[in-house]
Structure 1
Amino acid sequence: MLASVFDMADHRVEIAVQGPWSLATSRAFWEGFTPSALPAHSSEALRAVFLVEGEWRRAAVSVTQHGATAVLSLSGTGDLDLAAAQVCRFLSLDVDGRAWPDVGARDPVIAEAQASLPGLRPCGFYSPYEAAAWSVLAQRVRMSQAAALKASLLRDGVFPAPAELLALDLDLPGRKAEYLRAVAEAALEGLLDGVTLRAMKPAAAVLAVQQVKGLGPFAAELVVLRGANAPDAVPHNESRLTDEVAERYGRPLAEVSEAWRPYRTWASVHLRVLRERRLGGAMAAAVR
């Protein structure tokens, strides 16, 4: 269990991170993660502004690292205890990673990835709601087009709250407006709650997310694995990962990934980063 010390006078939260972690490596990953990329900052801190899940109020966080401790400085109108927990989730700071090096000891390919990306903890979307919205925006368009569509919807740098999204007159291609409204309604009904999805078995969570109109198997996996940031699941609908495993191992993903437990998502993300690097892509793996 992670340990924390709360000082609500200045909204400071200290998290004792268990296992390897590098803020610099994780920040570089997130700054290149197109679906929810952070703007680059010259300071050592990771800074983000987001909506606190459930109440959908703004919060801002500055994260710094002091040895094995993550220091979160929070502000905003949202519940800052909830905001701190959400930050820990989307930065994977709430995962006990002490056994992560053991995966590399069992698998030389993952060991190479760990050495190349020291201390990387996969950073996800701020919430499953935002992951679901991105999935809709990215359907049948290029990544750059999806990013432009998302940017057009931002309000003061954050994605609209579900109720606000429902009130917008959306001029989007295809059925994107219809599907975005379905995502917003599902978020308001609690169907895309990060805590709930993380508490479920990943396969069950993926099936639950697919009940939302417009979210197929690929999108549902993104919502669970990168929105709820579930640490131990295998993406079955990610062709680039399947191709990478085939090239490096010559065996099926389902078989290879057994050695990655209980960090199958982490291992998958590491392999995707290595593939993007090798093929000349950005540091963070782009979503299909």
Structure 2
Amino acid sequence: MTTSRAFWEGFTPSALPRRDGVELRSTFLVEGEWRRASVSVTQAGATAVLSLSGEGDLDLAAAQVCRFLSLDVDGSGWPAVASRDPVIAEAQAAFPGLRPCGFYSPYEAAAWSVLSQRAGMAQGARLKASLMVDGVFPAPSALLRADLDLPGRKPEYLRAVARAALDGLLDAVALRAMNPVAAVLAVQQVKGLGPFAAELVVLRGANAPDAVPHKESRLTDEVRERYGRPLAEVSQAWRPYRTWASVHLRVLREQRLRGEPVPSG
């Protein structure tokens, strides 16, 4: 859990506040109800222990936590991917125990996509922070009522995202139940969400564990440099954890490009 916590604390689009201690703590909106819930996650051996409180349905909240922390995925086959791919073996050794942490919901992933469009991550994070209330991104109904003083067409697109969330078009359970390619196409029906944004919503919003982000240029560049073969071909060895492998390679690349030492296992 320590590795996953460090990853999430550095995840700019939905960063976890840095705290001392071993607990992972967060407050979020329960998807569908859009009421607040708080969670504390600790580790007991190989088991993650969740302690939840709040206004929302805590059973739904627990399922949501497991989803955005990738705890709902059976990871017993993940080490076998390393045996098939030495690059992934390096990544697993560098980040032991990492399970990719996603957005709290596809709705928040979609909102982030709009806020960061033509703005970059740093400005997108500032815009998102300006909308948050008591540390939580507003519910779709509140976003529709808000006076959105944002550049360009961002207000229009954010309202389209809010309406889609209220209509169930960005529901995590529904998106996870679909073939990832079909899910990405479905998300593109929301105004303002193109192919890149739709992949983010499905792979990191619904946190689908086995899909390939074809529109992520930094991943494509990393695969070309490391393997000299196309991503679609290389990623076959990563099944059924293609999203996990993609995230691990992105983390390795970002650390290397920043000149940071890559930890060894």
TM-score (norm 2): 0.97
Match of 1:102 among 52, 57, 80: 80
Cα distance in 2 for residues equivalent to 1:281 and 1:149 = 28
Cα distance in 2 for residues equivalent to 1:57 and 1:206 = 27
* SS of the residue 1:71 aligns to: strand
* SS of the residue 1:87 aligns to: helix
The one-letter code matched in structure 1 to 2:105 is S
Q: Deviations over 1:185-215 (max 9, x none)?
A: 0000000000000111100000000000000
How far did 1:143 drift? 1.5
1:125 partnered with 2:81: no
Structure 2 unmatched ranges of 5 or more: none
Residue identity (%):
82
Equivalence for 1:17: none
CA gap 1:37/1:281 in 2 versus in 1, 3 angstroms:
farther
How far did 1:281 drift? 6.9
1:223 partnered with 2:220: no
The one-letter code matched in structure 2 to 1:196 is A
Q: Deviations over 1:44-78 (max 9, x none)?
A: 01001000000000000000001111110100000
Equivalence for 1:136: 114
* SS of the residue 2:22 aligns to: coil
Equivalence for 2:37: 59
Match of 1:198 among 176, 191, 194: 176
How far did 1:142 drift? 2.4
CA gap 1:206/1:281 in 2 versus in 1, 3 angstroms:
farther
Equivalence for 2:246: 268
The one-letter code matched in structure 2 to 1:278 is R
The one-letter code matched in structure 1 to 2:220 is T
| Aligned residue-pair number | 261
Cα distance in 1 for residues equivalent to 2:153 and 2:2 = 39
Cα distance in 1 for residues equivalent to 2:51 and 2:241 = 28
Cα distance in 2 for residues equivalent to 1:146 and 1:99 = 36
Equivalence for 1:259: 237
How far did 1:246 drift? 0.3
* SS of the residue 2:173 aligns to: helix
* SS of the residue 1:74 aligns to: strand
Cα distance in 1 for residues equivalent to 2:121 and 2:60 = 31
CA contact (8 A) 1:26 1:120 kept: yes
Report which stretch shifted further, 92-101 or 138-147: 138-147
RMSD between superposed Cα atoms in Å: 1.0
Where do 1:1-288 residues align within 5 Å? Answer: 23-280=1-258
* SS of the residue 2:39 aligns to: strand
The one-letter code matched in structure 1 to 2:247 is V
TM-score (norm 1): 0.90
The one-letter code matched in structure 1 to 2:91 is A
The one-letter code matched in structure 2 to 1:254 is A
Cα distance in 1 for residues equivalent to 2:86 and 2:10 = 26
Cα distance in 2 for residues equivalent to 1:263 and 1:69 = 20
Cα distance in 2 for residues equivalent to 1:129 and 1:206 = 14
Cα distance in 1 for residues equivalent to 2:260 and 2:182 = 32
How far did 1:166 drift? 0.1
Equivalence for 1:14: none
Report which stretch shifted further, 219-228 or 141-150: 141-150
Cα distance in 2 for residues equivalent to 1:268 and 1:179 = 28
Q: Compare the two structures and name the one with the higher helix fraction.
A: 2
